[in-house]
Amino acid sequence: MENTIHPTKVISIPVAYLSIVMAAATVLLLASLHFLSPEFNPSWRMVSEYANGRYGWILSLMFISWAISSWALAFAIYAQLRTMAAKIGLILLITAGIGEALAAVFDINHEPFHDIAGYISIFGFAIAAMLISTYLSHTQPWSAHKKALLWSANLTWISIVVLVVAFAVMIGTFMQSGAKVDPQAQISVLPAGVIGLVGWANRLLIVVYCLWVLMIANLMLKLRENVS
């Protein structure tokens, strides 16, 4: 039997709006860096590399707004998550927000802390999205939007696969090119024959994660309006 949780049990509608605003701000801040720091080729330079540009503070704001969007959504929806799996998803969403916030403090020049923050946010968020969306898709009145819930959640782990494949392709083609580069040198152009799409894959992942937050928060508000 499906669980029935009335959408009016949402703790804070204003916080749901906050998650929407912060998720949208994350995407806009990321987009702005493409214009403010054009020296970082977005096709193969990772988002975290913007920390070494003139507008590293905007990157920090992006990570902070991303963290707030995750935490706000977790607070807004926690009353609707009743099973152990869903609650684990909630904890992972909060943890992912911690990873996103840590990335604002420990930039790419602070390894291994930045790497750890990245792993926490990337993998924690994807698992959280799957657990939460799967639970909601079997819960009234959310089940009416089952396809959107499951598709948006599955896109999170698909974006991880795309990122991993893009990394593998770049490394593989780099090795085949026979190019030798000083690891201490700042590379501005990829050697001929190297396929660099990892930067776009990295950006896609962030956008997909933010879209999941936007989708969940918007559905929450829509369901609330339907019973008002």
Do the domain assignments include residue 22?
yes
For tokens 């698909």, the residue is 158
> Would you state the pLDDT for residue 70?
98
Q: Is residue 166 part of a domain?
A: yes
Q: Which two structure tokens, joined as six digits, stand for 208?
A: 């997909």
- Spatial CB neighbours of 117, under 8 Å, sequence gap ≥ 6: 99, 100, 102, 103, 106
pTM beyond 0.95: the answer is no
Q: How confident is the model at residue 8 (pLDDT cuts 50, 70, 90)?
A: very low
- In 3-state terms, what secondary structure has residue 3? strand
What pLDDT sits at residue 6?
54
Residue 124 belongs to a domain: yes
Q: How confident is the model at residue 2 (pLDDT cuts 50, 70, 90)?
A: very low
Q: What percent of the chain has pLDDT over 90?
A: 76
Residue 127 within any structural domain of the chain: yes
DSSP symbols for 149-215: HHHHHHHHHHHHHHHHHHHHHHHHHHHHHT----TTS---SPPTT----HHHHHHHHHHHHHHHHHH
User: 45-90: per-residue pLDDT in tens?
Assistant: 999 999 999 999 999 999 999 999 999 999 999 988 999 999 999 9
Domain of residue 29: give its range: 3-178+190-226
Domain count, the chain: 1
Q: Per the domain annotation, does 38 fall within a domain?
A: yes
Structure token pair of residue 210? 């933010």
Preceding peptide of 183 cis, ω within 30°:
no
Q: Does 199 score more than 60 pLDDT?
A: yes
pLDDT score of 191: 83
C-alpha closest to that of 121 among 74, 59, 63: 63
Asked if residue 184 belongs to a domain, the reply is no
Q: Is residue 183 part of a domain?
A: no
Q: Is residue 200 part of a domain?
A: yes
- pLDDT for 104 equals 96
Task: Kindly indicate the confidence band of residue 183, based on its pLDDT and cuts at 50, 70 and 90.
Answer: very low
Per DSSP, the three-state class of 36 is helix
